[in-house]
Structure 1
Amino acid sequence: MQTHLKYRVISSSITILAIESSCDETSASVCKDGKIASNFIANQSVHEQYGGVVPELASRAHMQNIVPVVQQALSAANCQLSSINAIAFTQAPGLIGSLLVGAQFAKSMALSLHVPLIGVHHMQAHVLANLIMEPSPSFPFLCLTVSGGHTQIVLARSPLDLEVIGETIDDAAGEAFDKTAKLLGLPYPGGPLIDQYAKTGNPKAFSFAEPKIPELNFSFSGLKTSVLYFLQKQQPGFIQDHLPDLCASIQFTIVNILIKKLKLAVQQTGIKQVCIAGGVSANSGLRQALKDAGQKHGWQTYVPSFEYCTDNAAMIAITAYHKYLQKDFVDLDAGPSARAIW
């Protein structure tokens, strides 16, 4: 059943409150006329002892964090509830319990304020995070979106016209970082630690398997197996003695796989405006590799600031702003989805 509301008229300016709760970060952001006025994120350290995100604990933490995070975002943006034009939330994909907390909170606020509700696809928002800061890419552009759960090459023709032209057929790049880090005995989350150790290591010290996947798709399961088998052949103490070199070699292999596919995407489309997005875009090796490829091949490259790489509400807010311009709203009975097709 659809719920139809008569929205109140506020002003000609557009102020949007956005909420992100897809996994283990609770975030709120205020966007005013397409500019981010505030962006706050509450992280959850409880998952570190379990070696990964525990869905039940994540949803409980969201319930504790969402009110203070929203209050912080509103206060920092000097935003009154009466000036809000719309409420946005991450609708999909993600952990269903975590999504429900953000969705129900957003619905309640939209209903009480008599303003539209905007559902946002989490991965589309990662792409549009590149529009938050200046300079920003012009359309069309390519975006390599890499996170713990996704690895995609996206062709962006306009803010709301995005097409996935390549994606992983098994594991994501972020998952490859975290799982190989676990093989090395590093604590969760291991991806940032690999990046840290790699800075003092030799990226050519060890060679690991790179998959031969056709066209623009990715695969990382074979890489993890290659690392596992390599480590099983070594003597005790090998990892401790060669940790920086192992991290540098693993990072080099993952980044090389990503950049090769990105080069192919540029060749096939002829588009030389190239971005990266998602949590793995915070990786220093990937950021440098994109910069080097851009200088070598004449690309215009764009990388979000670290604040907008990991899960955050600012990317939800900027996406919601463009949806608001098109009156792309959802009804109050619209529910979140753990998985969604673009």
Structure 2
Amino acid sequence: MSAPRIAIDAMGGDGGASRMVAGAALALARSPDLRFLFVGDEGAISAELGRHEALAAASEVTHAADVITGDDKPGRALRRAKTSSMGVAIAAVKDGRAGAAVSGGNTGALMATAKLALRTMRGIDRPALAALLPSLGHNDVVMLDLGANTDCDARNLIEFALMGAAYARAALDIPRPTVALLNIGTEALKGTDVLKDAAAALREAQLPLEFTGFIEGDRLSRGEVDVIVSDGFSGNIALKTAEGTARFVTDLLRRSFESSFRSKMGFLLSKPALHMLKVHLDPNNHNGAVFLGLNGIVVKSHGGADDKGVANAIGVAAKLVRDDLNRRIAHALADYRATSSNDGAQAIAAQ
């Protein structure tokens, strides 16, 4: 296939054009076939591209006068979709001028703008926000939804499972991902009716995934499954709790090692292991959440991501373009609807 062309919302994120351009330069060094369309303040972008000769040669710039800030409501973002850097970057995906868009801007505004411009795929009720989280297993774990949909029914959870499994096949090269639903217990009788209905349908369906049942919040990072599915309300709380716990552990270790001379000597002996821990927990190494279920690929970068984090988000976008993620999702949905022999599953799928 042709080299992936990524549209970059250069004004999104805390670092603005300098951070997004620097991250793209690092992404290009890792994958020299990438091409870029930077959207935003043309003067600011061109000045930053002047620092990166190779990137400038692989890039075009489209001017957009408006910037969506972190305080902007989704409604305001929609009204400025044709003039904002975020909106114009997503429009480039819709028009086929880019294979994917990457933004570090306002998540709610990005979701609303992307959904309006790209629409959901046929057979998808709602898009979901998915990300790769670190685990103790052989690979990262895909988790969704992380906040796009606070209230979900069984059909939504089934669709999330299908999309999450397709994402795991594309991003992690896992032919038959294991999938679990986040719940308050692993027993079949626990949880809401929505969770029970979704679990029953997934157990009956013949799909290229292995449904393992329910998983509790304390097992998210154990690496026991490849995909964890939740409604956006619970998923976002679980994600923020995990991130907060990681920061708590690293801050506690730092305080402990600074408490005495003996502790500082212990730090020197433990430095290699602590470096590995830092790398594993660094959110920049896992940056790049994707809105699954849209007619186009849109990747959300952390607003505060550093150059490496931005490069990783761009790498996620490029890989999903190369692996034709949306085709995989469409096939998974078609297979589900064709093979669901359970009456309840068919009813849920037809809702």
Q: TM-score range by the shorter chain?
A: 0.3 to 0.5
Higher helix share: 2
TM-score, normalization: structure 2? 0.32
TM-score in terms of structure 1 length: 0.33
